[in-house]
Structure 1
């Protein structure tokens, strides 16, 4: 079975090909599309001396229905595009600050992701819908 998302007229459509008798089960197993809107991001760092974690805000980004994203951590937004993989729930970024980055869903938490991208100052960020 092949699966992809198509945007058009502000709508996102999940298209499934090659669905046999197990097609309904596969469609049900597809991951939910993330909500469009603004996601806030933070990073954390363990401080061994005090035994505590330090959290730092890392800006935010928006996901639009047309497949565009804006990173809002700079004076001027950094723009790019994204693709959602319905089989894994991952978001892949192209262009902009997150170029070649990936957001992996946090199991059990809708619209929350671990974000990694080349040149990232920390190992990963945690991002969630505001």
Structure 2
């Protein structure tokens, strides 16, 4: 319930636009008060099904594919990946991009080379 009050306080101070963002890339149900604002609202790392607001979200599939393709382009053939938690859409999509790049290069997918992580530096290490 703090969110509407914080935005109301900001709009009273004369902000000219609002960037509404989430930590995890995901679909959201936008709070009703966002629809009633008289300033531009941009969604960052999230989107709504009604597309009422412009949204900026990462292309996780393309990212996984591009990173893997880069390694393939440097001659690597045995490429591992460390994912995030499997329930997260970003982790699933990056893995999908990784697998697409391998398939495009005729490199067989090896599940032994996929390790589940949690986005932390220690998990990467």
Verify same fold: TM over 0.5.
Answer: no
Larger Rg: 2
TM-score, normalised by the number of residues in structure 1: 0.31
TM-score, normalised by the number of residues in structure 2: 0.31
